[in-house]
Chains A and B, each alone.
Chain A
Amino acid sequence: MIGSVLLVILGIALGLAAGWWLPPNGRRPVVVRRGGARRILLPFSGESISRRAMDSALRLAVAEDATLMPAYLASVPLTLPLDAPLPARAEAVLPLMEAIEQRAARRGVVVDSRISRGRTCRDALSRLLASESFDRVVVPAGDGTESGFSPEDVAWLLAKAPAEVVVLRPGPADHDVVTGAVVRGHF
């Protein structure tokens, strides 16, 4: 008889302990975070990013359950120290990073942004390649205008990047870009 009572008390105690230990929804949280160990680098240097490149990177990230790493390549003039504040750039780039993150969030992709500085964009990219690890790099090839990576930059990247490089062929939709304007003042 006493044994049964003790067993009941023990059961109640275990139940209460489990209740405290588990989070309020009654189940251990399943880690639903998307974005595994794989990382996809999406470098850019201006105030906008090609929508095609962005969408390609997102498609890859969704397919591979990868983390998207948009990286702003900041070229710092020689007249400034490499770590100097760049408030005018920040004004343009931070809304763009927010826009990228919002777009990624709609696709359920985890974003881990980076800023890399150098004396040129290539220098900034070189420093980024040396300090970060990733599995793929997505870059839009330029069509001779200001947008996209030049053939020289693409060749350099292919030679230096310790990852698979996805080069997007120039296309008629390259004028379609993602900018920070969509979130300006709303984050």
Chain B
Amino acid sequence: MGTVTVLTESSAEVAGDVVDGRVAIDASALTDAIGWQLKPEGLCQADVCVPVPDQAALMLGDRIDVAAAAAAVGRSSLVDAEHAAIAVSQPATARDTVVNGMQAPNLVLPDLDGNEVAMAEFRGRKKLLVVFASW
């Protein structure tokens, strides 16, 4: 088995292969890949489980199709077979919470020294989020 790169809010290298344009990984690697685990009750993250009525539809042989698992939790994806990579979107519900629900997510990003900073650390203050760049 080779290695595939799963690009979400971070980048994870997991054991797997690209088969006919689909990224196949062992079920045990799914948590590392997209943060969800396949259980009999569905795809689970901490105490939350999303029911998956047809678990067979997530499988490629005895392995998991990352794109299908991601789609089951509301995340779209695109595969770059040449570089054995799959980019996975944020959940549709997360975008809806911001744009329509007007609730700021707890975005976690590194500062310029590489220390992770969570937006939740600034709760209690009014905040101006400034998206900028050098370009």
* Bound pair (A, B): no
Which residues on A are within 8 Å of B, measured CB to CB? none
Which residues on B are within 8 Å of A, measured CB to CB? none
